[in-house]
Amino acid sequence: MEQKRTINNKLSWVFTILSIGELAAALAIVAYGLLKGHMSGLTCNVIMGAALGIYWLLADVAEPFAVHRFDGITQAQKEAYVKYILLDLVGFAGIAYFLFGVGGSTSGSSGGILGAVVYVVVMKPKRTNQQIFYGYIDPEAEQTDEEESEEAVENTLEKPEKEQE
């Protein structure tokens, strides 16, 4: 069991290094192309968008399956995984939109800012679902916190109505 865990940890590091390495390689290719004048802005955006997609596939899809992260997890953790990878994909799409908007902007418009906002907005729920999937947060406790928050809002909304009667 301990040997399997050690192998999975090493394999996880391999995926991390591959993911970061391919992003660094794409960035180096884009930088070189721009410095030498061989690439247009559109080509750079396509390369970086593809690199983000490959990063997502390696980090969020391939790595969990390769290191058997689904062995012995609950249904709530599986649901959290699906939410986590979809939110991460939306976040990466936001980054790509930001890069396309900022990189292709000739009139000084702030069209790419929407992509950055999307990325920032999805990070909190993505992080929460990621922690549930990895078992750092108990999904039942998370639901209890949400229910308590909803009850507090309902009680706050009901107080003025009771005072009016």
Q: Are 85 and 46 in a shared domain? A: no
Q: Are 41 and 5 in a shared domain? A: yes
Q: Are 85 and 20 in a shared domain? A: no
Q: What is the pLDDT of residues 74-111, one digit of tens each?
A: 999 999 999 999 999 999 999 988 888 776 555 555 66
* pLDDT of residue 143 exceeding 60: no
* Domain count for the chain: 2
Q: How confident is the model at residue 138 (pLDDT cuts 50, 70, 90)?
A: confident
* pLDDT of residue 162 exceeding 50: no
pTM: 0.74
Q: Could you give the count of Cα atoms lying within 13 Å of 46 in the half-sphere of its Cβ?
A: 6
Q: Are 112 and 49 in a shared domain? A: no
Q: Helices (H) and strands (E) in the chain — how many of each?
A: 6, 0
Q: Is residue 132 part of a domain?
A: yes
79 burial level (CB within 10 Å; 0-12, 13-18, 19+): middle
* pLDDT of residue 153 exceeding 90: no
Three-state SS for 10? helix
Q: Is residue 159 part of a domain?
A: no
Three-state SS for 38? coil
Straight-line distance from the first to the last Cα atom of the chain, in angstroms, rounded to the nearest whole number: 65
Q: Are 45 and 92 in a shared domain? A: no
- Work out the average pLDDT over 10-18: 93
Q: Which residues contact 138 (CB under 8 A, 6 or more apart)?
A: 132
Q: Which domain holds residue 98?
A: 73-149
pLDDT at 2: 84
* pLDDT of residue 145 exceeding 60: no
Q: Is residue 36 part of a domain?
A: yes
Q: Is residue 160 part of a domain?
A: no
Q: Is residue 164 part of a domain?
A: no
Q: Is residue 50 part of a domain?
A: yes
Q: Which residues contact 132 (CB under 8 A, 6 or more apart)?
A: 76, 77, 80, 84, 138, 139, 142
Q: Is residue 138 part of a domain?
A: yes
Q: Is residue 107 part of a domain?
A: yes
Q: How confident is the model at residue 149 (pLDDT cuts 50, 70, 90)?
A: low
pLDDT at 26: 96
Q: Are 60 and 104 in a shared domain? A: no
